[in-house]
Amino acid sequence: MRSIALWTAALALVGAASTGLAPDSLTYATPYATPVVEKPSDEDAGTFHGLLSLAESLPPSSSLKVLWTHGMCTHPSSWVDDRMKRLVASTGGTSQTVSARPVGSHGASLRTDRIALPSTTIDVTFLTWSALTAPYKAALTYDHSKHHGGDFPYARATLNRELKRGLINDCMTDVVVYGGPNGVNIRHAAQEAVCDAMGGRVEGTACNVPPGGSPAALAFVTESLGSKMLFDAIMEVWAAAEKSDDKTAAGRVANSLAATRMMYMVANQLPLLDAAGTATAGTIWDASPRRPATRGNTRNVFDLFSRARLTAARTIDPMTVVAFSDPNDLLSYRIVPGHLDGNLKDFRIVNVIVSNGTTYFDYVERPDTAHCGYMWNHHVFGLMAKGYHAGKALPSVPGLSAGGCPSFATLQD
């Protein structure tokens, strides 16, 4: 956005004026242009699979299943084409769309594309849910200036106008809707997507995974708010299976969940959104103060993964969670051991620290680029596709075109 670029330049000048003119070498810096891969422990250098290497490690005729969901801010359906173009360029395979269907009756959709490789395939299912929050964003367009289709008659500073129009009325609306009663359609769509990824289908209020329906290997890719959506959906799918009259349903869901080998979190927001909690029913008339929760939903989900792996009949390597974070991304958090639960030997946490844009005068990086820039960071896609091998050069995918933060307001102009 032009105004954010102006804001960045202005802040850079303020920083330079307050500290003295910075040396040329510090004027423009990209501190993590070469990402830093945190070692999980002194004994573990952090090597992890990418989607390509994970698929190639599977037995012949096996396929890797991937569920990918976007985060906050309006995403047109073309976001799937963009991710597939980048993923195909990263893996060197060829792709075709094998299925596309609506989820529910309110505009969410699931699309599955297959990447064909010399010895295996990767089936990537994308959940698109922006249509579910569009009515709430449309209700706020009156607050836009007349130039942008609204009827707000008063002057706003350029930066404040663009932040109100984009960050608040578009992006933050997704978070507000999802976290309240109006987010039920998003939550149902995410639950159906998780059920589909596990090899099941929704029947009534539960996910039915048929015997033998579990995937050979499963991976998740989440962007931004998508991490919270995924974890909430896993909790609900598991809870519904445990309540099922079919006493074997929970075991089949557990077997599918145990197939999860990799989770790639981009701009992960779980530690922040855990603060909202989950249980509100029945407490409205309770006059006694509530104690702060001693554990968040994130720990509960990792505990479920651990329990699922305990019931699996096969020997499984630890599930690896790779969290990509730009330190200047105001809406991204690392995953640390305190977020885990269950048998800690079931998990490996690898944080990857990246720079999605330039830091000006050691003062500011464009906040939109810091949060939305992961998907055109050639190292991020290289690592997700090809993995990381400690001691070797980091993989990258040159030639990926730059993009920008999605915007409901832009789509309406």
pLDDT digits (tens, 9 = 90+) for 207-237: 999 988 899 999 999 999 999 999 999 999 9
On whether residue 170 sits in a domain, the answer given is: yes
Residue 105: both structure tokens together: 């009756």
Cα dihedral 362, 365, 371, 375, rounded to 10, equals -100
pLDDT in tens, 15-65: 443 344 445 444 668 889 999 999 999 899 999 999 999 999 998 888 999
Residue 284 lies in a domain: no
Q: Is residue 281 part of a domain?
A: no
Q: What is the pLDDT of residues 74-113, one digit of tens each?
A: 999 899 999 999 899 888 889 999 999 999 888 999 999 9
**286 within domain boundaries:** no
For residue 219, being part of any structural domain is answered with yes
Q: Is residue 289 part of a domain?
A: no
Residue located via tokens 């960045």: 8
CA distances from 331 to 75, 183, 325, 409 (A): 18, 20, 9, 21
Q: Please answer whether residues 311 and 353 qualify as being in contact, where contact means their C-beta atoms are separated by less than 8 angstroms.
A: no
Examine residue 162 and state whether it is found in any structural domain, yes or no: yes
Residue 225 lies in a domain: yes
- Domain encompassing residue 356: 2-276+295-412
The pLDDT of residue 313: 64
Question: Rounded to whole angstroms, how far apart are CA atoms 237 and 121?
Answer: 27
Tally of domains in the chain: 1
